[in-house]
Amino acid sequence: MIENYKVPSSIAEAAQILHQGEATIVAGGTDLTPQTEAGAREFAVTLINIQRIEEMRGISRSDDRYRIGGLTTVTEILESESLAIDVPVLVEAADHFASPQIRNAATIAGNLCNASPAGDMCIPLLLLDAEVELASWVDGSVSVRTLALADFFTGPGKTVMRTDELLTAVVFNQPVAGFAATFQKSGPRPALEISTVSMGVAAVPEAGVLTVVRVAIGAVAPVPLRATDTEAVLEGQALDESLIDKAAESVQQEVSPIDDVRASAWYRKHLTGVYLRRALSHVAGN
């Protein structure tokens, strides 16, 4: 039962409220509402609406470093001209995200903090070696720790974020020259589909060899997964048929999907191999 309702207008104010005790944070509400309405999640005694924290909005770039405020909506990412040029894979994933109405409300921080293994924005951000900024109130001021997104998720719906922390921004470097990336997701219909499998592959292809290889996969493990073993198989090697076979075999070893209403574990594993082959030919062809 909610006993207090707070509307902070700054990160400092929000961090102080979180410091006082456990609270439910609401931004776009697109994941929170279905969870609370279904009884899958209880409200804490304090509800914090963070939508009025202006410093958590917007996409900015300073030198080669991008910063996306936590309250930036998926629509704002989709409509960003600079992201479309510099990081098209992120825009591509935004375009596949849910529906127009949900994109208009859903925030990047919400998608990450919900920590669904199938969270669509997680995949391109993992390819970009993105980091998240977590703010909290320590000794009378705001303290921010920055950690790799790959280390952020710990299980379905679970992250390393403490209850007194707020995810204020996602940061990443502009990819190196020649960086090519692709995002694909599978499901019975394109819209509003929780991915059966989603996959992102990125690399710098040059003379038939891939370097800076990144493979990230959604909905095949308890967390959005960086397939580091498969990346190692591919890194610096000549991309021929036998290497692709080896990589497809490796990626199927690396995932640990479950059977659920959307697909069987067997099918997810199968799709993972198919998508990796497809993604590799796409990236290598760029």
Partner 1 sequence: MSLEIEVGFTLNGRTVQVKVPPGMTTLAMLREKLDMTGGKLACGEGECGACTVKIDGRTINSCLMFAVDCDGRDIQTIEGLGSVAGLEIMQQAFVEHGAIQCGYCMPGMIMQARYLVDQNAGNDQKLSREDIARGLEGNVCRCSGYTKVVDAVAAVALEEASA
Residue 190 found at the interface with partner 1 (CB under 8 A) = yes
Residue 51 found at the interface with partner 1 (CB under 8 A) = yes
**Sequence letter at residue 101:** Q
How many residues lie near partner 1 (CB under 8 A)?
A: 30
Residue carrying structure tokens 């703010």: 135
Q: Which member of 10, 12, 19, 29 binds partner 1 (CB under 8 A)?
A: 29
Write out the DSSP string of 244-267. HHHHHHHHHHH------SS--HHH
Q: Closest separation between CB of residue 186 and partner 1, Å?
A: 16
**Tally of CB atoms within 10 A around 241:** 8
Contact by Cβ (8 Å): 56, 71: yes
| CB closer to partner 1, 187 vs 273 | 187
**Tally of CB atoms within 10 A around 208:** 10
Residue 104 found at the interface with partner 1 (CB under 8 A) = yes
Q: Which member of 12, 44, 84, 105 binds partner 1 (CB under 8 A)?
A: 105
Reference 165, options 46, 10, 17, 2; nearest CA is 17
Residue 236 DSSP one-character state: T
Residue 10 found at the interface with partner 1 (CB under 8 A) = no
| CB closer to partner 1, 35 vs 242 | 35
Residue 192 found at the interface with partner 1 (CB under 8 A) = yes
Q: Which stretch binds partner 1 (CB under 8 A): 13-21, 32-40, 115-123, 245-253?
A: 32-40
| CB closer to partner 1, 104 vs 228 | 104
φ and ψ of 47, to 5 deg? -105, 125
Residue 20 found at the interface with partner 1 (CB under 8 A) = no
Q: Which member of 13, 17, 30, 115 binds partner 1 (CB under 8 A)?
A: 30
Reference 19, options 169, 168, 167, 163; nearest CA is 163
CA distance 282 to 139: 50
| CB closer to partner 1, 37 vs 63 | 37
Q: Which member of 17, 98, 169, 171 binds partner 1 (CB under 8 A)?
A: 98
Residue 42 found at the interface with partner 1 (CB under 8 A) = no
Q: Which member of 10, 12, 67, 75 binds partner 1 (CB under 8 A)?
A: 75
CA distance 80 to 121: 15
Residue 209 found at the interface with partner 1 (CB under 8 A) = no
What burial class does residue 85 get, using C-beta atoms within 10 Å of its C-beta: 0-12 exposed, 13-18 middle, 19+ buried?
A: exposed
Q: Closest separation between CB of residue 101 and partner 1, Å?
A: 5
CA distance 38 to 1: 15
| CB closer to partner 1, 102 vs 142 | 102
| Residues present in the chain in total | 286
Contact by Cβ (8 Å): 195, 218: yes
Residue 23 found at the interface with partner 1 (CB under 8 A) = no
**Binding region for partner 1 (CB under 8 A):** 1-5, 7, 26, 28-30, 33-34, 36-38, 43, 47, 49, 51, 75, 98-102, 104-105, 190-192
